[in-house]
Structure 1
Amino acid sequence: MRKCPYSAEREKIIAEAISPIATELRMIEVANLVAYLHLECYGNLSDLVSSAAELYFHPGTVNLGVGGDYKMDWNSVPEVTLDLEIKAAGVTAYTRLCLTDKLAGVELTHIAFQSPAADPHLNTMFLKKALNDCKFVKSAEPPPQAIAC
């Protein structure tokens, strides 16, 4: 996807939304994830992603996309990348979730809004609301600020 001024903000929104899923996936032995990717056992990976996602999102919201990739050699920390498809009401985001020993990152590869607004900022806010609506536990909105009299 060609990066636009809103890509970084949207990646951050998605990363914050799926961070619990990344944490769950990082609890899986990295050798198993690498083996599933190497042997193209995408059904097993799909089950793992679905199991991690079902704790936080409605069924079908976060799914394994077309597969993934890994980097592993003798002199570095293993890195596993999973293609994820995130479907919320009115928006679908295709991302790559990169998992390492201590960190996780998200790259937004494509986003499709069912009825996009002319203003990209409104689309970004729609993405945030749609992802929050798909969660079992909603993110708390900051309390309204008191105005001094």
Structure 2
Amino acid sequence: MNRQPHAHSREAIVANAIQQVVGELRLIDVADYIAFIRLEHFACLSDLVDSAAELYFMPGTLRLGHGGEAHVDWSGNPRVVLDLELRPPGVTVYFQLALSEHTASVVVNYVSFQRPNEDPERNTELLEAVLERARIRRTEPLALP
């Protein structure tokens, strides 16, 4: 696949947006991921992703895509790859999240804009803006006088 020049900046935006969700996903034992993927219990995997995302994104914004992969062998650390979709209003991002013992990485496969701009930089800015609007942020209470 030919990488486009703006792919790296979009991957950074997606990685930053889902950082807290990745922390939640890491709380799940790797054996559970391996079992769900190997047994093709993708509905269970989808529930895990939904539960991890519900504290940080509006409902339906982040969800499991077509499944995942579990890379496990006798000589190394397990690595789990989840196919995920970000669907804030007006944009759809298809990407993979790879989780290993000490790292997590994002690879964006495709970004679809409902109303794309001819300038890729504008589309990247739009992606960042709609992801920010789809986030659920904790608000600080106002101090009473």
Pairwise same-fold verdict (TM > 0.5): yes
Q: What is aligned with 1:117?
A: 117
CA separation in 1, counterparts of 2:2 and 2:39? 31
CA separation in 2, counterparts of 1:7 and 1:85? 16
CA separation in 2, counterparts of 1:2 and 1:9? 15
TM-score by length of 2: 0.93
Cα RMSD for the two superposed structures: 1.0
Q: What is aligned with 1:3?
A: 3
CA separation in 2, counterparts of 1:2 and 1:95? 15
Q: What is aligned with 2:45?
A: 45
Q: What is aligned with 2:142?
A: none
Report the AA paired with residue 92 of structure 1: T
Q: What is aligned with 1:106?
A: 106
What SS does the aligned partner of 1:88 have? coil
Q: What is aligned with 1:90?
A: 90
Alignment of 1:29-40 (within 5 A): 29-40=29-40
Structure 1: gaps (5+ residues): 139-149
TM-score by length of 1: 0.90
CA separation in 2, counterparts of 1:118 and 1:32? 43
Report the AA paired with residue 105 of structure 1: S
Structure 2: gaps (5+ residues): 139-145
C-alpha displacement of 1:22:
1.0
Alignment of 1:2-21 (within 5 A): 2-21=2-21
CA separation in 2, counterparts of 1:7 and 1:137? 26
Q: What is aligned with 1:144?
A: none
Deviation track 1:96-123 (CA, whole Å, cap 9, x = no partner) reads 0000112110000111000000100000
How many residues are aligned here? 138
C-alpha displacement of 1:2:
3.2
Kept after mapping to 2: 8 A contact 1:72/1:79: yes
1:25 aligns with 2:25: yes
Kept after mapping to 2: 8 A contact 1:56/1:135: yes
Report the AA paired with residue 44 of structure 2: N
Report the AA paired with residue 85 of structure 2: E
Please, which moves more after superposition, 49-58 or 20-29? 20-29
Q: What is aligned with 1:81?
A: 81
Q: What is aligned with 1:72?
A: 72
Kept after mapping to 2: 8 A contact 1:26/1:101: no
C-alpha displacement of 1:25:
0.7
CA separation in 2, counterparts of 1:55 and 1:100? 23
Report the AA paired with residue 30 of structure 1: V
CA separation in 2, counterparts of 1:85 and 1:45? 14
CA separation in 1, counterparts of 2:2 and 2:89? 24
